Amino acid sequence: MNPVDTQTKTAPLDVEQIRQDFPILRRKVHGKRLVYLDNAATSQKPQSVIDAISHYYSHSNANVHRGVHCLAEEATEAYETVRRKVCQFINGDDPNSIVFTRNTTESVNLVAHAWGRKFLGKGDEVVLTVTEHHSNLVPWQLLAEDTGCKLRFIDIDDEGRLRTDHLDEYITEKTKLVCMGHVSNALGTIHSVRTIACAARAVGALVFVDGAQGAPHGPVNVETLDCDFYAYSPHKALGPLGIGVLWARRDLLEEMNPFLGGGEMIRNVSLERSTWAGVPYKFEAGTPSVADAVGLGASIDYLMELGMENVRTHEKQIVSYAMERLAELPFIRFFGPRDPADRCGLVSFIDADIHPHDLGTVVDQHGVAIRAGHHCAKPLMHRLGVVATARASFYIYNDRSDVNKLIDSLLEARKVFGL
């Protein structure tokens, strides 16, 4: 499928129709219709993804890249086809620049280990932002401890946008790498990757983008983002749990050290030493999650058929409506940019009188699944001066009726607490 064609085809999403494709949305929770608003944690899976995985195990299951028999060849072809699809999905130009990992977390660790430990040392700086998910923070902290490089952090403004007015204070001649989320999982802010990448380029630094909340929700083009690494978790984009993606510029992959050692990642092995396979196989030690790759392929087909531009438009509309409705509630304070153009389809908020965990528990009784907590972004919570927030995150199968259900259940929570 040609991604350009599907992404320029504009049409509103038919949410009723889409819902039919997701068997889990037919189930009840506490006797109520499930209103699933925890998509930033993981999305639900359409029948086509479930079927693709089941079909793989029923018809083609074998290990990849090893056998010469029919099933091994089918499995290998299925696996490598998905690599090409992922490359199209993020508008890369070389399928061999796609490395399959387990998730975004593993992709970050791979780069911190295989690139960071080879190229960084004392006197070098890695620039991050205060909004990072722990997955795009802790691996760099470990790297800093091991290599002596220093971490610096770009701050946010009052609406949770990255402060790009004093970038030259953070990004300097010492900066070797800038690591930033594409979209904040706790604020919903769509970050200005290109502006920051431009500042990084000016000092010769590389750019790593954590796309865990970016790739599922709108078109991604790694070329126009002007990054060097882009990671995401297909399980947040209708795909299965257990497979992750790392895209990197081919020349960088070539010069990086391996991450994990073992079968499949070698060219030659003797008792004393080994040499490495070419990219991307150098980074894919051991048996990969082939069925999950096949499911990932089906999830990309599904999203491309909808058109990622249409997914983005849909989410912008729904988050805009959610903010409008939440603003009617005087006891609710929400975080992140007011302008829906600057945020993805999620909204993080607090009730002035009810702890987010209690809120999450009460709304669940009404079938509404939201997230409550620090969202694996403790430093950001600290920066916002809160310990936790409640977060409603939308996707292609959510509509205004789900927002209304959320609002009704927030009002019910007030009653439960006698407010």
Binding site for ligand PLP (CB under 6 A): 40-41, 103-105, 133, 135-136, 181, 185, 210, 212-213, 233
DSSP state of 183: B
Answer for the pair 314, 322: CB distance below 8 angstroms, yes or no: no
Rounded to whole angstroms, the Cα distance separating 342 from 339 reads: 6
Three-class secondary structure of residue 266 per DSSP: strand
34 or 231: CB nearest ligand PLP? 231
| 159's tokens | 């609406």
181 or 288: CB nearest ligand PLP? 181
Q: How, if at all, do strands 368-369 and 35-36 pair?
A: parallel
75 or 308: CB nearest ligand PLP? 308
Shortest Å distance, C-beta 231 to ligand PLP: 8
Shortest Å distance, C-beta 391 to ligand PLP: 10
Residues designated catalytic: 376
Rounded to whole angstroms, the Cα distance separating 287 from 194 reads: 36
Rounded to whole angstroms, the Cα distance separating 298 from 78 reads: 11
199 or 346: CB nearest ligand PLP? 346
**Nearest partner of 219 among 348, 374, 92, judged by Cα:** 92
| Terminal C-alpha separation, the chain | 54
Instruction: For residue 10, count CB atoms less than 10 angstroms from its CB and return exposed for 0-12, middle for 13-18, buried for 19 or more.
Output: exposed
85 or 375: CB nearest ligand PLP? 375
Instruction: For residue 312, count CB atoms less than 10 angstroms from its CB and return exposed for 0-12, middle for 13-18, buried for 19 or more.
Output: middle
Rounded to whole angstroms, the Cα distance separating 188 from 300 reads: 23
Shortest Å distance, C-beta 375 to ligand PLP: 7
User: Which residues have CB under 8 Å from 349's CB, separation 6+?
Assistant: 326, 332, 333, 334, 335, 389, 390, 391, 392
Shortest Å distance, C-beta 122 to ligand PLP: 28
Alpha-carbon Rg for the chain, nearest whole angstrom, is 22
185 or 389: CB nearest ligand PLP? 185
Shortest Å distance, C-beta 300 to ligand PLP: 17
Rounded to whole angstroms, the Cα distance separating 229 from 108 reads: 9
Answer for the pair 223, 82: CB distance below 8 angstroms, yes or no: no
Shortest Å distance, C-beta 147 to ligand PLP: 22
105 or 147: CB nearest ligand PLP? 105
Shortest Å distance, C-beta 210 to ligand PLP: 5
97 or 213: CB nearest ligand PLP? 213
- Whether the CA torsion 221, 224, 225, 230 is positive or negative: it is positive
Shortest Å distance, C-beta 134 to ligand PLP: 8
| Residues belonging to the chain | 419
- Return phi, psi of residue 44, to 5°: -80, 170
Q: How, if at all, do strands 371-373 and 389-393 pair?
A: antiparallel
Hey, what amino acid is at 100? F
